[in-house]
Chains A and B, each alone.
Chain A
């Protein structure tokens, strides 16, 4: 162990005596706003993180046929990978069918997931508008967006998914109660 690390451990062990031991040395380098923007891809349920742009169901149908249907089936009815449409009303049965329409609580998650992880062989291939379009098409397959519909960063967070109230937080980690001031 280097003497520098020993100094660190000393700082940790005497926490309260030495203030802010970690910041006393330099580790790493500052992240620039431009590079943070490059990696800061997450989208939350309020729509924070959604980019400018938009896509229609009609555009999404074409893109889905080219990049998604091979795994998810025509109309998202399932294939070698997850079924994306249908399944409403099955969750309490012995054969629940969990799809975007029957199970996913937030439409924003759909944009986020397509953008970060799909298409499986080449994630990141779709443009912002194409990602919105595929999102709109999958939502339309589930009757959540009309066939002539369009989604963007304003409309997506406002969509109320059919199973929005279908989740019960584990009490120990319930976001609504955790960290609440006593």
Chain B
């Protein structure tokens, strides 16, 4: 793993085999970690012996470096954390379907409040017979649901609306989606507790952050049956960045609707037209009109291995990535290794869960000639992830949010993987 610290220093064909396989991970990722000793022969493997003391927490190996990256708006990367508006998941370094808790993407509108759960309350009121106040302990005593779902910021993919900066990683392009297991109380249970008026079909959900982020949520049958107020994340209490001590989880819908630090649910008859559902999370079309209440996240996928700034070697490669849809389960993922001319179906890791990311993979033998690789997903409702051209034809380039066009990575004759529009 030592020689791949600079992507410019290309391995010669003789170097391929083992280190070539690892080469895909290089691209500056391992550069910051300490230089590991080589172990070409089993005789080089260090002797065994007693290890470190057992601790209260298990930490990552010092040989593993995994970090989110705080960023701002498209093109504003490597910003000071105080200027960041989001922090992105390093999909290029992850495997499987579940995002490690500390690497789940984050979008916060007024920082991360420090909330003492003993001093946090959820008010449920409006068009109800019995307005109630709940503590965290109240919620924990109620029947719970546990579900693996993706949460995706509507800004995911926004780097590529107008142009493709070639030097982006998949963390830059698609780091605003993650999948965790969440545990909490069904919204339906709370609705029954307060006895919502039948005439109320919209709900305002509001956070306890400095911005008091609030969104209007239509109480469709799907949302009433699937939404829940979560207090658990991957088996532990929510992390503060993700809404501790409680947040709304809205499987398949805009990340912004999954209100963090939830402190109020109010029932009414029409949307409140909050700043976030008017001025912010609406999609400006080429006509100058903006699409509003595009609440569901679309069918999407991206190849994570190999992806932007990695390097591939001729011969065998395993293509892998993630697919997800706010409509339900992913039905299939197809991969093209010839610039979208021909497609082959990838394997999906089982079981495929509704509204959760699923890992796909496919064998590929690269002939060493420049090409482009791209994935496209189809969900169980028959929605197909659009190609870039038809997507832009429909949405224009000003929408800023809800980008789900197919992601193309180009590979040059040296095996360098770069971000391109198509």
Enumerate chain A interface residues (CB-CB to B < 8 A).
2, 4-5, 8-9, 12, 20-23, 27-31, 35-36, 39-45, 91-92, 94, 96, 98, 100, 103-106, 108-109, 112-113, 116-117, 120, 123, 166-170, 172-175, 178-179
- Kindly state whether residue B275 has any CB partner on chain A within 8 Å: yes
* A162 CA to B284 CA, complexed, in Å: 16
**Given A28-B135, A40-B125, A175-B218, A120 and B278 contact (CB-CB distance below 8 Å):** no
| Complex interface: stretch among B14-22, B164-172, B266-274 | B266-274
Interface contact A22-B192, CB-CB below 8 Å? yes
Interface contact A166-B266, CB-CB below 8 Å? no
A28: chain B residues at CB < 8 Å are 124, 132-135, 138, 193
A21: chain B residues at CB < 8 Å are 192
A166: chain B residues at CB < 8 Å are 288-290
Interface contact B275-A109, CB-CB below 8 Å? yes
Interface contact A116-B212, CB-CB below 8 Å? yes
Interface contact B192-A117, CB-CB below 8 Å? no
Interface contact A169-B293, CB-CB below 8 Å? yes
B412 to chain A, nearest CB (A): 30
B142 to chain A, nearest CB (A): 6
- Kindly state whether residue B143 has any CB partner on chain A within 8 Å: yes
Interface contact B275-A113, CB-CB below 8 Å? yes
| Complex interface: stretch among B203-211, B303-311, B383-391 | B203-211
Total B residues in contact with A, Cβ cutoff 8 Å: 57
Interface contact A167-B278, CB-CB below 8 Å? yes
- With A36-B125, A96-B398 already in contact, 5 other A-B pairs whose C-beta atoms are closer than 8 Å: A28-B135, A45-B272, A108-B273, A109-B278, A173-B294
* Closest chain B residue to A44, Cβ basis: B272
Interface contact B274-A109, CB-CB below 8 Å? yes
B264: chain A residues at CB < 8 Å are 39
* A44 CA to B133 CA, complexed, in Å: 23
Interface contact A30-B131, CB-CB below 8 Å? yes
B273: chain A residues at CB < 8 Å are 44-45, 105-106, 108-109
Interface contact B288-A91, CB-CB below 8 Å? yes
B285: chain A residues at CB < 8 Å are 168
* A36 CA to B266 CA, complexed, in Å: 10
B135: chain A residues at CB < 8 Å are 28
Interface contact A168-B278, CB-CB below 8 Å? no
Interface contact B286-A92, CB-CB below 8 Å? yes
A112: chain B residues at CB < 8 Å are 272, 274-275
Interface positions, chain B 120-146, Cβ under 8 Å from A, are 123-125, 130-135, 138, 141-143
* A5 CA to B131 CA, complexed, in Å: 22
A15 to chain B, nearest CB (A): 10
* Closest chain A residue to B202, Cβ basis: A175
Interface contact A116-B130, CB-CB below 8 Å? no
- Kindly state whether residue B282 has any CB partner on chain A within 8 Å: yes
Interface contact A175-B284, CB-CB below 8 Å? no
A91 to chain B, nearest CB (A): 4
B270: chain A residues at CB < 8 Å are 44, 175
